[in-house]
Chains A and B, each alone.
Chain A
Amino acid sequence: MKWTSWALLQAFPSPFFVHDEGFNSSRLQFALKWNVTPFNYSFNANELVSPVSILMVNPIRRYGGSVELFLQPEWALSTYRNSGMKRFALNGGTRFYIPVSEGGEYLSVSLGVKYKFRKNLNGFEKNTTGLEFGVYTFFGIIGFQADYNFTSESRYNLGITIRYY
């Protein structure tokens, strides 16, 4: 029951905008992403609990100060007509959380690096690296994430993260 309901909650997507740049035109593309945490190590775990979490991470441990590996599948709602990329991409990377207020529960920020796996419409790999910045509130249920990617075809991503545990 616990894992089933948790998995259902994780299926709820986080909406964001992706920069879609071509030779002559540029626009923002609407997309959805999901967050998966294969591994999290918390610096804020007390002596009675494990600092390591797999998949399900208690907000007090994640946003109270931690480092984690993440996977982020993303899906654009329409084609990238400027850059000619496929709709699906997969981000993988690592990020640090730093608590700002009330042990990170009320306010926390993150800084991460990631590698984005994506292909263009011709099937050629157009992978890229990027930086990620995040601000989270309401125990991490709501947050804002901004990406800076090292490619001119999709320089900026900006969106909301919605997450429970």
Chain B
Amino acid sequence: MKSVKYIVYILFFIFLFNLSGCRTFYDLAVNIGMQLSKPDKIKNKIKEPVKEGVKLSALWVGHCTVLVQIEDKVILFDPFFTNNAAEIQRRVQEPGLDLNDLKKLDIIFVSHAHFDHLSIGSLKILEEKFPGTKLVFPEGVEEFLPKINFNLKKLKQPDYKNNVYVGETRVIDSMKITSVAAFHWGGRYGLDGLIWDYKGYAGFIIQYKDITVYFSGDTSYDEKFFKYLGNKYSIDIAFIPIGPCIDCYETGKPGRHLFPGGVFSVLDDTKTKVLVPIHFGTLYEKSEPFEPIRVLKELMEKQPQYSDRIKILEIGEQVIFK
């Protein structure tokens, strides 16, 4: 009976934490409650994600996973195809791409080692299907990579604290790839990034033929950096995170994440032709999964001049530029 009493005490304690408004406990409780649920189905998934005659295309798989085709090259960013991140965070919608439909893959990018970006289970699935594929990541991520049959390519991480925004540029598989600053944090298991200052977080600029793609990784807003990008590169398409957020109307939380309120500044500063918002709609963290995009749409109604430069994709939707 004693143990039952203790369990009741613990549950009551968690309940009190929830009442206190502690978001972490609330998210934890919601995610625990979702463990037995199945992610919502995505209807009409694209069966032929890689096509002939495409100059540039982007298929949003969900969260930060994006499949990009630049002419004959196929790139996958931050692959996350499993049902859970960090064991407890449950996916609310299934991935918008069936990997059986993917017939070609040239490079995989991992922006940092947090669980929703470096998914070991997803990499294992990709390893079976595409052994030996190039895996590009910023230095520090290798600490959290398992033994895996990929061609590992480590790029230097920019020292943005000293206003160095570019880490390293290398030509990999005929693509010019540059690691650029991301205003985030590293590590994988919490304290290792927050206290031990583990490195391993960056964005990427990919230049191939006359196309420039920017994948920011997780980042917050930094005016000087984004203006630097805008002056140095002619970005055709940028994939920018807009969550997770609580104060979603704000620009973001420095050193953590960009919020919907910061998207217009990024567009202005980087002069990006098309911006695709990501990092929402898949996991329950800090707010409802679709709250960031709801806020962004609301803000876009007030600033319609940006509407043709922001392309909001549904999970599984592909945008094609010919």
A residues lining the B interface (CB < 8 Å): 1-2, 5-6, 9, 43-49, 58-60, 64, 101-103, 105-106, 137-139, 141, 164-165
Which of B84, B142, B196 interacts with A2 by CB under 8 Å? B196
Q: Tell me the bound Cα distance from A135 to B186 in angstroms.
A: 28
Determine if B189 and A164 form an interchain contact, defined as CB atoms under 8 angstroms apart: yes
Query: Which of chain A's residues have a CB closer than 8 A to the CB of B143?
Result: 49, 58, 60
Closest B residue to A59 by beta carbon equals B189
Pick the contact of A5: B120, B154, B195 (CB < 8 A): B195
Whether A48 and B87, one on each chain, are in contact in the complex, defined by CB atoms closer than 8 angstroms, is: no
State the CA gap A44–B149 with chains docked (Å): 12
Asked whether, in the complex, the Cβ of A60 is within 8 Å of the Cβ of B142, the reply is no
Tell which of A6, A48, A59, A64 touches B154, judged by Cβ atoms closer than 8 Å: A48
* B87→A46 contact, CB < 8 A: no
With CB as the reference atom, state the residue of chain A lying closest to B82.
Answer: A102
Q: Of A64, A137, A164, A165, which is within 8 A of B146 by CB?
A: A64
Q: Is residue B230 contacting chain A, with contact meaning CB distance below 8 A? A: no
Q: Given A1-B196, A102-B121, A165-B192, decide whether A43 and B87 contact each other with a Cβ distance below 8 A.
A: no
Say yes or no: is B152 at the interface (Cβ < 8 Å to chain A): yes
Given contacts A60-B120, A102-B82, A106-B87, 16 further A-B contacts (CB under 8 A): A2-B196, A44-B147, A46-B148, A46-B152, A47-B152, A48-B145, A48-B152, A49-B145, A58-B144, A60-B144, A60-B145, A64-B147, A102-B87, A139-B188, A141-B189, A164-B189
CA distance in complex: A102, B148 (Å) = 13
Contacts of A2 in B (CB 8 A): 195-197
- CA A105 – CA B188 in complex, angstroms? 11
Closest to B121 in A: A102
Residues of B within 8 A of A45 (CB): 147
Contact residues in B for A164 (Cβ distance below 8 Å): 189, 191
Q: Tell me the minimal C-beta distance from A103 to chain B in angstroms.
A: 4
Cα distance A115–B143 in the bound complex, in angstroms:
32
Q: Given A102-B121, A164-B191, A44–B87 Cβ distance below 8 Å?
A: no
B309 within 8 A of A: no
Could you tell me if B145 and A46 are in contact, using CB atoms closer than 8 angstroms?
yes
- Residue among B82, B148, B152, B189 making CB contact with A139, cutoff 8 Å: B189
Which positions 188-242 of chain B face chain A at CB distance < 8 Å? 188-189, 191-192, 195-197
Q: Is B124 an interface residue (CB 8 A)?
A: yes
**Bound Cα distance from A6 to B190, whole angstroms:** 13
Q: Are A44 and B195 in contact (CB under 8 A)?
A: no
Are A1 and B195 in contact, with the CB atoms below 8 A? yes
B-chain residues with CB within 8 Å of residue A58 when the two chains form the complex:
143-144
For A165, the chain B residues whose CB sits under 8 A away are: 189, 192
Give complex CA distance A58, B148 in Å.
16
